[in-house]
Structure 1
Amino acid sequence: MAASDTEWNALVDAAKSEGGLVVYSSLSGVEISFEKFEQAYPEIPVTVERAPTSDLITRLDQEGAVNAQGADVTMHSQSGWFDTSNEASRFAALKVGPEQAAAGWEKHLAGQSYPFVFSNAYIVGYNTKTGRPVKNMSEFLDVAANAKIGIIDGEISTAQSFLYSRWQKEYGDDFLKRLAGLDYTVYSSNVPLAQGLAAGEIDYGIGLAPSTVLDLKGEGAPVDYIVPDEATSGVPYHAAVLNNAPHPNAAQLFVNWLMSKDGAGQFVAHHSPASTPVATTGSIPWGQIPTPEDSGWTQQNHDEFIKSEWAPLFG
């Protein structure tokens, strides 16, 4: 629902008096991005509780089951959780500020209370001492025959299974079988895989979101990455205000900031390669990174793919 200028100004004043907010996020390195919000609103310090998506969902569901106040806002990559939580009325109705309304966010939202704030292109990470960049997954299979490989578990999200299904479609029905023939280790999340890559335990990491690799590269670790030039997809990140948020006005203001050009600029600056609904310098045009949501890849598709394609080889 779009707020008038008067309503929005009152919300901002109320947000400043609430003293802060808590964000549950699965995205690595968000603290530096959120500093820009704190600079704009110094009265509202942001506390970030960060964990892998599966752990966040468990915590959110446990708190929701007993109506325990924890997060004001959550932002993570499991689209299906946002769908079911929205249907269960776990989110506060989003108030769209004047700036966001002018940017067309009511159309983007299409009646939902949780905006799709950006997507991250999946990458192939490599250890710069033991691996080398590749153009795409076809070349990867050729160069990785004698390498140690890290693979993100396809079961963790619809976004992950959608990526593997795209590779299977692009490179043939035997793609996953060829992948399973390599010297691989399956990881449950991005953080341990990226750390293993930096430590030299593996030479390549596939199915990775880029944020953890970027963090380690910035710290001087021997890691780098490429975005495949074909058949890649993206990790979708939605955000929502919990309906029992302890700081409801600050939460509304924060989610609107995520939807703003300033917020989009932080995603591009710290979480590239990124695509944002609000065009900003350096962002990949919206819609050019396929995601499960815009491609019709449902939870049912995910479950069937895991049962028939993934689990027999990697389960």
Structure 2
Amino acid sequence: MSRRDSARRGAAALVAAAGLMVLAACGGGSAPTAGTGAATGPVDPAAAAAEGEIVLYTPTVDASNTALVKAFNAKYASIKVTINKQGDSALTPLVEAESQTGKGVGDVYLTADPGFIPKHVDMLAPIQSTARKDPAYSPYVSRDAKSVVVQVTPYGLAWNTKTVPGGLKSWNDLATLDPALRIGVDDPSVAIAAGGWMYLMNQKFGPELLCNMAGAHKVNLYPNSSTMQQALASGEIDVGMPALSTVNALKASGAPIDVAFPDPVFAPTISATVLKTAPHPQAAQLFVDFALSAEGQQAFNAGVYSVPSGIPGTLGNISQIADRIDTSAISAADMKSTATNFAQCRTKS
């Protein structure tokens, strides 16, 4: 088997393993009440334009959301896109409530929670875009074609170059940080993907690494990586994690910060779904179709990893890092207990 084939299978295993583990732990969801009805057949731009609107649920960073919507509207100017940006822990209950009542508000849900899809598969409509059958995407399409990976965001370690002039190269460097340094961490009880990152860190390096760090330093919790990185750029903290490659945009603007992505790469995937109760199902399908296009991938994935290769402005494509991504399965119970344990570690400081 070639390294490229091994990489592709490794990434597919990452998506499948995480999802199946949560399915076994959580069981199936309740059957949704039908909304306006899912789109059937090929993506229809004319029908999408007639609907004229999309509500996008997304936990991803503002820069990615804004760039994707801007590029979409450059091509489909008549379709208004309203962004509802919150963490998966807040968005999933919205989706569940809309499914139970049959009163849909959201149309497209971009989720970083691998457990959402297998648990809520009956709340999702099949993706109509023909791009899902493309060899670049087909390994990353869920069963029943109800979700498709659209982004891979590696988690890294960021620091203030003034207070940490030597930089950081390994996750093990967290064990030898100057106790005077202030640490910023995504709150694992709020950011689901951060909870997964913390769980995998504990599995790879032992729970003592992060727990001892939390006990030895002043640790600030942030609702997401974007907020944490702004705090790092402003000098509120000295080291931040898990950091995104969007740190590089702050660095380019003059902020005294840098970022590294040590092995193993902890990289949550962002998957696109169309909700079965979507009030604008045709427009929702068109939006996902655009997100899978080369234009959409370039806009959405600036500074991170795209799914297909050859996308300008990205770090590369998923197959290039698939064999470096940890493929451990994570359950909702694992992430909850990890967040609880980390909170207890912080009380020791």
Normalization by structure 2: what TM-score? 0.74
Match of 1:8 in 2: 42
Q: Which residue of 1 aligns with 2:113?
A: 78
- Map of 1:156-235 to 2, 5 A cutoff? 156=190, 159-180=193-214, 181-211=216-246, 213=247, 216-217=250-251, 220=253, 222-235=255-268
Q: Structure 1 counterpart of 2:262, which letter?
A: D
Are 1:121 and 1:289, in contact at CA under 8 Å, matched by a contact in 2? no
1:215–1:70 Cα change, 3 Å? farther
Of 277, 281, 306, 2:307 maps to 277
Give the stretch that moved more between structures: 236-245 or 174-183: 174-183
Greater relative contact order (Cα 8 A, min sep 6): structure 1 or 2? 2
**Alpha-carbon distance, 1:22 to partner:** 1.7
Q: Counterpart of 2:342?
A: 310
Q: What's the counterpart of residue 328 of structure 2?
A: 295
Distance 1:94 1:209 in 2: 28
Contact 2:243 2:259 in 1 (8 A): no
Q: Which residue of 2 aligns with 1:142?
A: 176
Note the alpha carbon deviations across 1:230-280, whole angstroms, 9 max, x for none: 2330122111111121211111111122223332222332xx232x33223
Aligned with 1:108 (options 133, 137, 140): 140
- Distance in 1 between residues matched to 2:235 and 2:260, nearest whole Å: 21
- Greater shift, 162-171 or 142-151, is seen at 162-171
Partner of residue 50 from structure 1, selected from 85, 90, 95: 85
User: How far apart, CA to CA, are the structure 2 residues paired with 1:223 and 1:24?
Assistant: 32
Distance 1:64 1:144 in 2: 50
3-state SS in 2 of match to 1:178: helix
Partner Cα distance (2:76, 2:293) in 1: 14
Q: Which runs of structure 2 are paired with 1:249-268 in the superposition (5 Å)?
A: 249-268=282-301
Contact 2:232 2:257 in 1 (8 A): no
2-structure distance, mates of 1:151, 1:112:
35
AA in 2 matched with 1:143: L
User: Contact 2:308/2:318 (CA < 8 Å) preserved in 1?
Assistant: no
CA distance in 1, matches of 2:346, 2:145: 36
- Shift of residue 135, structure 1, vs aligned partner: 1.0
Letter in 2 for 1:164: M
DSSP-derived class of the 1:156 partner:
coil
**Residues 38 and 264 (structure 1), Cα distance of their counterparts in 2 relative to 1, 3 Å cut:** same
The CA deviation string for residues 273-304 of structure 1, in whole angstroms up to 9 with x for no partner, is 32x3322344243324526xx43223243345
Structure 2 CA distance for aligned equivalents of residues 71 and 223 of structure 1:
39
Partners of 1:191 and 1:155 lie apart in 2 by 16
Tell me what 1:91 maps to. Answer: 124
Structure 1 unpaired stretches of 5+: 1-6
| Count of residues in correspondence between the two structures | 298
Gapped runs of 5+ residues in structure 2?
1-40
Instruction: Give the CA deviation at 1:172.
Output: 4.0
Q: Is the 8 A contact 2:219 2:346 kept in 1?
A: no
- Partners of 1:60 and 1:173 lie apart in 2 by 33
Q: Secondary structure at the match of 2:301?
A: helix
Q: Matches of 2:127 and 2:83 in 1, distance apart?
A: 21
Counterpart-to-counterpart distance in 2, 1:119 and 1:23: 19
Contact 1:198–1:223, Cα closer than 8 Å, also in 2: yes
CA gap of 1:160–1:92, structure 2 versus 1, over 3 A, is same
CA drift at 1:210:
4.0
| 1:3 paired residue number | none
Determine what percentage of the aligned residue pairs are the same residue. Answer: 21
Mean CA deviation greater in 153-162 or 197-206: 153-162
1: distance between equivalents of 2:42 and 2:172? Answer: 51
> Are residues 1:64 and 2:99 paired?
yes
- Kindly report which structure 2 residues correspond to 1:20-35, keeping only aligned pairs within 5 A, or say none: 20-28=53-61, 29=63, 30-35=65-70
Alignment match, 1:125: 158
1:4 corresponding residue in structure 2? none
Match of 2:11 in 1: none
